[in-house]
């Protein structure tokens, strides 16, 4: 006999996207360049098949039809971001064409009973602010606060759920510990500054939001990667705890609890990695924690003790632990990521037990697959049963977490339609709708039919 999984009343079913990855029109209607526009100009060969951010999935022109498609698959919510460089091209003055565009998008969503959840920063630093140092600069932290306030004042009557950042660890990890995001710096001390200033910027924006006395809530979206030790040896457990401190708790604790873990502070101090903390910073964070949390979950981390001594001249987070391959793991070979559905349950219980059972939702969960045309049937529909299975198994574990008391209010997939993904461009497809890049036509995949049923019946 099969089990029926029913989710709480008013559960949020939908998808996530971002401005740079879907809008296109990247140099139109007054939008200034962000770091992706610039990087594609100077190094187009870095981007998969030379596809840049100019057109992406053309949401800027097709949003009305796309929102009809969301309605057709029974979305009751949708998360996207505002483009900072579209709304404030010079960082100060408002671009009226951008205001019109976002108002039209939000009105169309609301008209279709789809709640907009609006995020402010999704990896798309305006170029002129990156030239001032990006998140290394306190001037840019202030510029972000001006942008956030502007957005709240313009759209705060319509938007009842805001988030400050999506995955603030990613610009740190990919742009300051790796070469996968501009500015391609590899320097752990500078990375720590970027991480700290991101949290300062988030707290300032939350404070500004509350000062406006708008009716609504403000949160943050973090990608949480549970760190599982290879064994219960003291060394493996400590290594996993350090990975957790760097990749999860460095953002989760200040966002929800208003303070950094002591163990993280000590570790950074021991290796001379602590950023400068100015007077009032810690009070600001303590008094401006989030109302809710978005959690992006794709994969776990498998950790064992470090096999080599720490080289304090070339520090990276990985200087403190090694990864290992779990013998039982299942992989998504296209993305190189482990598929581990139970991770979503472990996150649910961790939030319940250690973070005051704050309201949270799954803000992204998805499976990217290359060359999906292989699975086109005669009628032109992609038969992506692998994606349906991925969602089903994650939802079963999420359901278990909810029945055990975790305060989860929604599940958003990545993503609604195939979209552009940074250096990977359109290499891995994630959408419920296929996007033909030559024609920009959309067509529903089998997973879209499946998700539509789940959302309509609030379960499966």
Q: Is residue 162 part of a domain?
A: yes
Q: Which residue has the tokens 């319940």?
A: 352
Q: Enter the tokens of residue 418.
A: 């195939």
> Residue 441 burial by CB count (10 A; 0-12/13-18/19+): exposed, middle or buried?
exposed
pTM of the full structure: 0.97
Residues 24, 51: contact at Cβ < 8 Å?
A: no
User: Which one is catalytic: 108, 115, 136, 167?
Assistant: 167
CA dihedral 418, 420, 421, 425 (to 10 degrees): 110
How far is residue 427's CA from residue 368's CA, in Å, rounded to a whole number?
A: 9
User: Which one is catalytic: 108, 305, 364, 372?
Assistant: 364
Query: Of 105, 133, 252, 148, nearest to 197 (Cα)?
Result: 133
Q: Is residue 98 part of a domain?
A: yes
State pLDDT tens for residues 89-115.
Answer: 999 999 999 999 999 999 999 999 999
Task: Spell out the residues 6+ positions from residue 284 whose beta carbon is closer than 8 angstroms to its own.
Answer: 200, 203, 204, 207
Q: Is residue 42 part of a domain?
A: yes
Distances 275 to 195, 315, 413 between C-alpha atoms, Å: 9, 15, 35
How far is residue 201's CA from residue 224's CA, in Å, rounded to a whole number?
A: 20
Q: Is residue 3 part of a domain?
A: no
Task: For residue 338, indicate whether it is catalytic.
Answer: no
> How many domains in the chain?
1
Q: Is residue 89 part of a domain?
A: yes
Q: Enter the tokens of residue 366.
A: 């998805």
Backbone angles phi, psi at 234, to 5 degrees: -55, -40
Weakly modelled stretches of the chain, pLDDT under 50: none
Angle of helix 446-457 relative to helix 385-403, nearest 10 degrees, comes to 20
Query: Of 159, 149, 136, 18, nearest to 92 (Cα)?
Result: 149
Task: For residue 167, indicate whether it is catalytic.
Answer: yes
Domain that holds residue 183: 12-457
In the chain, the N- to C-terminal Cα span, in Å, equals: 14
Distances 199 to 162, 165, 206, 355 between C-alpha atoms, Å: 16, 9, 11, 17
Which pLDDT value is given to residue 3?
Answer: 86
Residues 344, 365: contact at Cβ < 8 Å?
A: yes
State pLDDT tens for residues 215-229.
Answer: 999 999 999 999 999
How far is residue 43's CA from residue 224's CA, in Å, rounded to a whole number?
A: 31
Which pLDDT value is given to residue 1?
Answer: 64
Q: Is residue 185 part of a domain?
A: yes
Q: Is residue 73 part of a domain?
A: yes
Q: Is residue 6 part of a domain?
A: no
- We report the CATH number of the domain holding residue 241 as 3.20.20.80
């Amino acid at each position: 006999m099969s089990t029926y999984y029913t989710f709480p009343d008013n559960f949020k079913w939908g998808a996530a996207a971002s401005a740079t990855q879907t809008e296109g029109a990247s140099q139109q209607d007054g939008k200034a360049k962000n770091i992706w526009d610039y990087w594609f100009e100077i190094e187009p060969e870095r981007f998969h098949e030379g596809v840049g951010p100019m057109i992406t999935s053309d949401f800027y022109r097709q949003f009305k039809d796309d929102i009809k498609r969301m309605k057709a698959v029974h979305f009751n919510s949708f998360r996207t971001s505002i483009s900072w460089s579209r709304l404030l091209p010079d960082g100060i003055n408002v671009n009226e064409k951008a205001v019109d565009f976002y108002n039209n998008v939000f009105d169309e969503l609301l008209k279709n009973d789809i709640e907009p959840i609006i995020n402010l920063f999704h990896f798309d630093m305006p170029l002129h602010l990156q030239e001032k140092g990006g998140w290394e600069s306190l001037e840019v932290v202030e510029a972000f606060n001006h942008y956030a306030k502007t957005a709240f004042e313009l759209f705060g009557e319509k938007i009842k759920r805001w988030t400050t950042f999506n995955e603030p660890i990613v610009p740190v990890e990919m742009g300051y510990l790796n070469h996968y995001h501009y500015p391609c710096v590899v320097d752990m001390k500078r990375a720590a500054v970027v991480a700290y200033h991101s949290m300062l910027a988030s707290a300032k924006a939350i404070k500004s939001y509350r000062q406006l006395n708008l009716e609504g809530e403000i949160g943050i979206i973090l990608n949480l990667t549970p760190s599982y030790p290879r064994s219960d040896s003291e060394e493996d457990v400590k290594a996993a705890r350090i990975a957790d401190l760097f990749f999860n708790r460095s953002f989760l604790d200040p966002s929800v609890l208003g303070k950094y873990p002591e163990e993280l502070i000590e570790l950074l101090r021991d290796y001379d990695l602590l950023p400068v903390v100015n007077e009032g910073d810690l009070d600001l964070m303590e008094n401006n924690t989030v109302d809710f949390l978005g959690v992006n979950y794709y994969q776990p981390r498998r950790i064992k003790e470090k096999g080599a001594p720490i080289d304090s001249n070339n520090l990276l987070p990985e200087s403190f632990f090694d990864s290992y391959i779990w013998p039982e793991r299942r992989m998504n070979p296209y993305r190189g990521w482990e598929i581990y559905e139970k991770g979503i349950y472990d996150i649910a219980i961790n939030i319940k037990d250690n973070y005051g059972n704050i309201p949270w939702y799954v803000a992204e969960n998805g499976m990217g697959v290359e060359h999906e045309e292989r699975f086109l049937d005669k009628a032109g529909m992609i038969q992506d049963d692998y994606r349906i299975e991925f969602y089903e198994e994650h939802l079963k574990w999420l359901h278990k977490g909810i029945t055990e008391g975790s305060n989860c209010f929604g599940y958003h997939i990545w993503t609604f339609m195939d979209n552009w993904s940074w250096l990977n461009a359109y290499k891995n497809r994630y959408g419920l709708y296929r996007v033909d890049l030559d024609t920009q036509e959309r067509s529903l995949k089998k997973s879209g039919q499946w998700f539509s049923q789940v959302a309509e019946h609030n379960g499966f």
